[in-house]
């Protein structure tokens, strides 16, 4: 559950008695809210469960880019008369949740739980995506090495694959590392051969 929120409030100087700050709405609910400037994120984000953004919708992505290298936390957008222009603005898809001064305590707690779940889901998808991209990259190197071995040794791709597998076991390396070495050496030799012909 989210208990501690770090608030970036681009509109704090414009708020008055008619428009409460996010902290004024959330503190009575037992939530801890600390305000920070974007420059303070690196030091303050470690203690927060989530980042609460009282910024225009088009600034949400900028905030995610600022926080991503520091720490992955749920991003929750504060929607009030200052942050929402009301002219059909395009909402950024980088948010995990949204809060409003018009919500009651139950709505706020439900929204925070949902934001936390969406953040976990987004993080898991990102990890899975990175793993799949890494596997695709590895597959590319292995396929290139198989084609090179097939051409040079005049063997089938299945035999080239077996060769790569055995070589990796003998050298106690991953197949992709052996494949990468083969491709790079081949490209180096091809480059030297072309330069030699051009002289």
CB atoms within 10 A of CB 50: 23
Domains of the chain, with CATH numbers?
4-103 (3.40.50.2300), 133-198 (1.10.10.10)
The tokens describing 54, both together, are 């009282």
* Residue 92 pLDDT: 61
Find where tokens 């225009």 sit: 56
Could you say which DSSP state residue 104 is in? -
The yes-or-no verdict on residue 193 having pLDDT over 80 is no
* Residue 3 pLDDT: 87
The yes-or-no verdict on residue 87 having pLDDT over 70 is no
49-78: pLDDT as tens digits: 999 999 888 888 888 888 888 888 999 999
Low-confidence winner among 23-27, 80-84, 136-140 (lowest mean pLDDT) = 80-84
The yes-or-no verdict on residue 199 having pLDDT over 70 is no
Cα–Cα distance between 192 and 138 in angstroms, integer?
26
* Residue 67 pLDDT: 85
Contact 149, 182 (CB under 8 A): yes
The torsion angle over the Cα atoms of residues 157, 158, 164 and 169, rounded to 10 degrees, is 180
Contact 74, 50 (CB under 8 A): yes
* Residue 198 pLDDT: 66
Contacts of 36 (CB under 8 A, 6+ apart): 6, 7, 8, 44
Describe the chain by its helix, strand, coil percentages, rounded to 5: 60, 10, 30
Is residue 177 very low, low, confident or very high in pLDDT (cuts 50, 70, 90)?
very high
């Amino acid at each position: 559950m989210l208990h501690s929120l770090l608030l970036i409030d681009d509109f704090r100087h414009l708020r008055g008695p008619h428009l409460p700050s996010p902290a004024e709405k959330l503190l009575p609910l037992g939530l801890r809210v600390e305000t920070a400037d974007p420059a303070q994120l690196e030091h303050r984000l470690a203690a927060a469960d989530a980042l609460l953004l009282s910024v225009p919708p088009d600034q949400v992505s900028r905030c995610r880019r600022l926080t991503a290298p520091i720490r992955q936390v749920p991003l929750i957008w504060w929607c009030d008369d200052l942050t929402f222009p009301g002219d059909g603005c395009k909402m950024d898809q980088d948010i995990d949740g949204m809060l409003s001064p018009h919500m009651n305590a139950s709505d706020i707690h439900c929204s925070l739980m949902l934001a936390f779940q969406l953040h976990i889901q987004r993080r898991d998808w990102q990890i899975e995506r990175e793993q799949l991209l890494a596997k695709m990259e590895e597959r590319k190197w292995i396929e290139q090495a198989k084609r090179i071995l097939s051409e040079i040794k005049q063997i089938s791709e299945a035999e080239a694959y077996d060769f790569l597998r055995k070589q990796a076991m003998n050298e106690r390396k991953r197949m992709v590392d052996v494949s990468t070495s083969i491709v790079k050496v081949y490209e180096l030799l091809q480059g030297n051969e072309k330069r030699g012909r051009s002289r």
